[in-house]
Amino acid sequence: MNFSQPYSPGGFQFIPPAIKAIILLNIAVFLLQLTPFGDSISALGALWPVGSGNFRIWQLVTYMFLHGGGTHLFFNMFALWMFGAEIENYWGTRQFNIYYFICGIGAAVINLIATVGDPYPTVGASGAIYGVLLAFGMMFPDRYIFLYFLFPVKAKYFIAGYAFIEFISGFGSRAMGSGSNIAHFAHLGGMLIGFIYITIKRAEWSFSGLFSKISSSSKKKRGPHLYTRNRVAPPVSESEINAILDKISERGYGSLTEEERRKLLRAGGKK
């Protein structure tokens, strides 16, 4: 995953594959919740506290696809599309899926730690979506978000404000001993795990980039330098370009090799 390159080529998809699949799956599960089997599905799939006796390991994933009502589902899926579509187009479908589920599972683990002794289960994709929100703020910090569709706020300040509100709300309700039907610690957990993941990936990319520069520099210095004529690069075929664009769509621009990037630039220069 490349976190330092500008917006990757290959075309912007209004609803990219991962976003579409997640939204459709959440809607399908919600419709199942409305059937006579709904109570059983919720009981088995919701994230129950460890000490409740109802906790099962699969709930770390299944809770993300259950919702407490139509409004809960709508706003979660709207936020997922609004902030996640650009992230998936930027990173690629495979890396977005990995990030989404890591944030969701990480949020579940942190929520379990923070709610030991509570009798109530947690449902909703909010933990994973807050991770996506954090990613948007880190990838596009100076992008303006219109608060209430009126007031422009830079993404970095918008995300920081959300994190602060969740922190105060979570620890405030905990200190006062009041219950809440909002999983503040799951939200904070998703953002924390997302921040750690992106920070690690950025460090990996920087290290690999530095290593490749050192490696290429050392190769140039080895052996005698022979005079060579300037060779004209062979033309890039349409099938090669299509294969490169498919790779970008699936795994992001950062997955391309140096040769594939040169071919893409040559093809773009021709156009």
Q: What pLDDT score does 228 carry? A: 43
Question: What is the β-pairing status of strands 151-154 and 144-147?
Answer: antiparallel
SS3 string, 10-46, reads CCCCCCCHHHHHHHHHHHHHHHHHCCCCHHHHHHHHC
User: What beta strand segments (E) does the chain contain?
Assistant: 144-147, 151-154
pLDDT digits (tens, 9 = 90+) for 147-190: 766 788 888 888 888 777 776 765 555 544 444 556 777 888 89
CB 18 within 8 A of CB 96: yes
**Res 16 pLDDT > 80:** yes
Any residues with CB less than 8 A from the CB of 134 and at least 6 apart, and which?
A: 159, 163, 190, 191, 194, 195, 198
Q: What pLDDT score does 9 carry? A: 37
Q: What pLDDT score does 144 carry? A: 83
Q: What pLDDT score does 184 carry? A: 74
**Res 52 pLDDT > 60:** yes
Helices 38-45, 17-33: inter-axial angle, 10-degree rounding? 120
Three-state secondary structure call for residue 97: helix
Q: What angle do CA 52, 104, 124 make, to 5 degrees?
A: 65
pLDDT digits (tens, 9 = 90+) for 67-103: 989 999 999 999 999 999 999 998 999 999 999 999 9
State CA 240 to chain mean position distance: 29
pLDDT digits (tens, 9 = 90+) for 93-106: 999 999 999 999 99
Q: How many Cα atoms within 13 Å fall on the side-chain side of residue 209? A: 14
Measuring CA to CA, which residue among 13, 189, 184 is closest to residue 84? 13
Q: What pLDDT score does 226 carry? A: 45
Q: In whole numbers, what is the pLDDT of the chain averaged over residues? A: 79
C-alpha to C-alpha distance for 67 and 168, rounded to whole angstroms: 24
pLDDT digits (tens, 9 = 90+) for 121-147: 999 999 999 999 999 999 888 888 777
| Domains in the chain: boundaries | 17-202, 233-271
Confidence category of residue 212, pLDDT binned at 50, 70, 90? low
CATH number of this structure's domain 17-202: 1.20.1540.10
Look up residue 152 and give its DSSP letter.
E
